[in-house]
Structure 1
Amino acid sequence: MWPIDTLTPIQDAQIEAFFQRWLAVSCATTPIETQQVEQTIQRSYALMGKRQPEILFFSGPLEAQAYLQERRIDQLLNQWGVPLLTLPLAKQLSHQVRSQLRAELLVEISERLKVAELATLSQNLSLITWTPLAELFAWNTQHVEEDTAPWGGWSPSLWDQLWQQQQTEWRQAIQSQPGGDLLVHVGETLWQWGEPVGQALEDAVIHPFRQQPEVQAWEQGMQQMLTTMGLVGMGWQALTQTSEVLHPALLDYCIEVLECDHEPEAWTQLRSLSTHCGLILPFEQMCVVFDRPIQCHADPEGRFHYEGGAALQFADGYRSYQFHGVQIPERYGTVHPHVWKADWLIHEQNAELRRVLIQGIGYDRLCQELQAEALNTWREYTLLRISPAIDVEPIYLLKMTCPSTGYIHATRVPPSIQSAREAIRWVNWDTDPEEFAQES
């Protein structure tokens, strides 16, 4: 039976339903049930062989900010312990499922299930939620009192725990290779022979190993994380989106539809963490939980997007205005793009926001409201130039006026174009308009 290399028609037909199921999970706005969340987290920690953590609930980023502003970050992290950078449950299940499918089929299912869009949505939600906290962590870390160590009193122990956590993952990777168990056993035996041999091993093997670029990159990443909490701020959903860990939607489909063998308890807990617990960030001694937003809107590409209101809103009053994944100020976000004004572009200093305004307003309205200059005309087509510097490079437009309806449509063309006829040729993939007219 294994590995599976093709889908039956019935299995194939169910992919879209699983995408819709997990899209609903990603955009869910129903408040979490705290008792159910507590039970799920406690069982999950027990299944991972860890002691029961304290659980800290927040209704949104503003409430979390208020909580952290009243406490010293270094002391808080000492109490919480190190973050769990990967969940063993996810890695275990992913390894089991991968071993039962052809790699090509797994890629095909992932693409048709739109896992990339689902992962983007989860990561964006986590980033939006945690960014205010990451900024607060960064500020507090940079303002540690002078009588503390350079990294603060918490950093040496946390750094050691993070290093040990990564060494455990490297050990597992070594053991998965032919002869890996023997290599790990020899290393452990050498350490047991005593400090002199252990130090020799440190000097001859471990120290050179830590000089390798990929290991140094990991250490630098960890240092940056501990300094700004930027990586930790992504939440577990983002941290588990690695090449080794399959998205829960993909695991769900493979387990339920393809009937892949798996560890039932591990899947029960991981699925519950994904569907019932909102946004979580697990530490060794603490698990931070955010309630679901009360409003959540996204476009088909998994980017937060809403016109005329907040794309994301939490019960504590936090709002995020987004236009196809770009954060925009409230002054733009509360107004529908249909009534955005073209002259806002003249006063907007941020280049990214200008691009959003251009996209929302559209070139049709821009050429009318900004009194674009006509450079050349050919039949019902006009080459226009918008004089105000509202983008990185000058805006040249090919305007077409429908003779029967009077409807105006404008398309942007490169600023190097000199005539309306040349612009038509560029729009039609280098086909001359006379030839295009004959073919039509």
Structure 2
Amino acid sequence: MKEDRKISELTPQQEAQLDAYKRKWQQVALSTTPIDKQNVKQAIEAIYEKTVSHELEIYFFDSPEKVANLSFLTRVYPQENWSNPKKLNNLIRQVEKDLSKKILLPRTLFENIQNPLLEAITRQLDIELWHHLERRLSFQSPISTVIHQELRGKEKLSPIWKLAKPAQKKRLEGLWRFLSLANLQKPGYLCSRCCIFDYCINELKCSVPEKPWQILTTFVAECGWTFFFYDFCFTCDRPCKLILDEQNKPHSENEAAIQFSDGFHAFAQ
């Protein structure tokens, strides 16, 4: 059986649409629309259903600062006495053990969703055209790096930190590093991949499995920063205000360029 011919080049009209798709998905990555908790719940449950299929508890936070400053500890472990310095060492050890055992890499979750889309599209495109689209349509969210830098050291704001001894403080610092490196998925990062998929589906008429595409785009459209674990996750609201320059980069001289509803903010670097 003769193999279907792959798409190897763009028409002038298709080439002209590249920038419009990029702008579309950059705007999704920069959304300041508050999350709808019911929509977020459905979006996240669809991701888990596709991968691990079990009961899930979702913790909502107004900003990533509420995770970085360890506020999540009293939410996930409300029965524990975090104000008792004598119990703190055992509690930190318990949390470290629980979180490491329940780690669920976002890469694993989203590979199960993205890979069928990627495989379907690349079967229909010449490899050189795919690389061309990656060069033209890929982008990084300009606000993620600024937010991440502003979150450094936020664990020191925690009442738990103030009770901790030096060795315990070092381990509390490690909790945020662990969360931000291992478990965090930023929808802004996925917007770049969605941009390429969207272009291929709608402009080049590539066929893809419908459900993974729906799950991926719903998560990107509905959710903020999300930290994934085996049977629970933390998900954060979006910024309520962004001040950007002509390149859509955070920029402000006299006020915070990124602001969240709970007061967390970040200045342009």
Corresponding residue for residue 270 of structure 1: 216
Distance 1:4 1:129 in 2: 44
Aligned mates of 2:113, 2:219 — CA distance in 1: 10
CA offsets, 1:249-275, max 9 Å, x none?
A: 111211222222222101101111111
Task: Work out which of the residue numbers 46, 49, 54 in structure 2 matches 1:51.
Answer: 54
Q: Is the 8 A contact 2:7 2:124 kept in 1?
A: yes
Where 2:233 maps in the other structure, the secondary structure is strand
Q: Give the unaligned 5+ runs of structure 2.
A: 75-81, 83-90
Note the 1:255-334 alignment, pairs <5 A: 255-299=201-245, 303-322=249-268, 326=269
Tell me, yes or no, if structure 1 residue 84 matches structure 2 residue 136. no
Deviation at residue 73 of structure 1 after TM alignment: 5.0
Distance apart, 1:321 and its partner CA: 0.8
CA distance in 2, matches of 1:134, 1:234: 17
Corresponding position of 1:253: 199
Answering whether residue 9 of structure 2 is matched by residue 37 of structure 1, we say: no
Distance (Å, rounded) in 2 between the aligned partners of 1:133 and 1:96: 42
Which of 1 and 2 has greater Rg?
1
State the distance in 2 between where 1:73 and 1:298 align: 40
TM-score (norm 2): 0.74
Aligned-residue offset at 1:131? 3.9
The whole-number CA distance in structure 2 between the counterparts of 1:5 and 1:225 is 48
When normalised by structure 1's length, the TM-score is 0.47
Equivalent residue for 1:121, pick from 103, 126, 142: 142
Q: Distance in 2 between matches of 1:281 and 1:299?
A: 29
Deviations 1:220-248 (A, max 9, x none): xxxx987832513753458879xxxx712
Give 5+ residue unaligned stretches, structure 1.
Answer: 146-150, 153-223, 327-440
Matches within 5 A, 1:6-405: 6-64=9-67, 65=69, 67-68=71-72, 70=74, 72=91, 74-76=93-95, 78=98, 81-86=102-107, 87=110, 88-113=112-137, 115-116=138-139, 119-121=140-142, 123-124=144-145, 127-128=148-149, 131=152, 143-144=167-168, 228-229=177-178, 230-232=180-182, 235-237=185-187, 247-299=193-245, 303-322=249-268, 326=269
Matched-pair contact (CA < 8 Å) for 1:123–1:237: no
Residues 167-217 of structure 1: CA deviation (Å, up to 9, x unaligned): xxxxxxxxxxxxxxxxxxxxxxxxxxxxxxxxxxxxxxxxxxxxxxxxxxx
Contact 2:6 2:123 in 1 (8 A): yes
What secondary structure sits across from 1:143 in the alignment?
helix
Structure 1 residues 17 and 90 mapped into 2: Cα distance closer, same or farther (>3 Å)?
same
Distance 1:310 1:231 in 2: 25
Quickly say closer, same or farther: Cα 1:52–1:296, change in 2 above 3 A.
Answer: farther
Q: Distance in 2 between matches of 1:264 and 1:225?
A: 40
**Distance in 2 separating the partners of 1:74 and 1:141:** 14
Match of 1:423 in 2: none
Count residues with an aligned counterpart.
239
2:114 partner letter: A
Answer 1 or 2: higher relative contact order, Cα 8 Å, separation at least 6.
Answer: 2
